[in-house]
Structure 1
Amino acid sequence: MNDKRNDSERTFAAIRRGKIKPGTAEEFAVRVKAGALPVMKKMEGFKAYFLVAGADDTIIAVSLFTNKATAETSTQTLMPWIKENLGPLLASPTEAIDGEVVVSDLA
């Protein structure tokens, strides 16, 4: 998307969606908060992180960054940790979506 915003005003999202084993949402959240989140907070341009436990054991992670390259490579950076710590809780591989946030409004 081409617009007149400078890079410091842009936000990029790394969204991951997957299925977890039934009854593991709380443990998944505990592991993410203790392990992945501290690593993400040190990544260049880290802005925010949201973990959503949806219906039917769906888990959605939204990471926001000011740096496009970091957003695009955040999963690869964390992959060894994800495989070791979250892999046993996943029921299927995760789907990855990366892109620029074009509308946002946080109250």
Structure 2
Amino acid sequence: MFAVVRHYHFKPEDGEKIDKIIQDGFVPLLKKAKGFVRYYWLDTGNGEGASLSVFKDKAGADESIHIAAEFVKAQMSTLLTQKPEVIEGPVRAHD
């Protein structure tokens, strides 16, 4: 399995709007990616959020990076205060 973690920064007052955009727009799109396993989004309430996406293989994780970049550019760019940080790698431990 491969995972992608994305770290976002935004104004705290935009948190609920971003949560809705992700739930209603991004999650359904991401679920169509090859090898999709799971997606989690967390919002700290303080202007930061992070997501964890899990895929069966690297190809799916790579595809998700492109999907997310296009989605953020089209739907969230005006809401973010800086470019998202993205890390990707193989899952080495899980239950």
Q: Confirm or deny a common fold (TM above 0.5).
A: yes
Aligned to 2:77: 87
Which residue identity lines up with residue 34 of structure 2 in the other structure? E
Aligned to 1:64: 54
Matched residue of 1:103: which SS? coil
Pairing 1:27–2:27 present: no
Kindly state the Cα deviation for residue 58 of structure 1 after the two structures are TM-superposed: 1.2
Give the 4+ runs in structure 1 shifted more than 2 A. 77-81
After superposition, the C-alpha distances for 1:60-94 in whole angstroms (9 at most, x for unaligned) are 01110002112023121232221121112111111
Which residue identity lines up with residue 99 of structure 1 in the other structure? G
Which residue identity lines up with residue 70 of structure 2 in the other structure? P
Kindly state the Cα deviation for residue 55 of structure 1 after the two structures are TM-superposed: 5.8
Structure 2, gaps ≥5 residues long: none
Which residue identity lines up with residue 53 of structure 2 in the other structure? S
Root mean square deviation, CA, Å: 1.4
Give TM-score scaled by structure 2 length: 0.89
Q: How many residues align?
A: 95
Give 1:41-60 correspondences, 5 Å limit. 41-54=31-44, 56-60=46-50
Structure 1, gaps ≥5 residues long: 1-10
| Aligned-partner Cα distance in 2 for 1:20–1:75 | 19
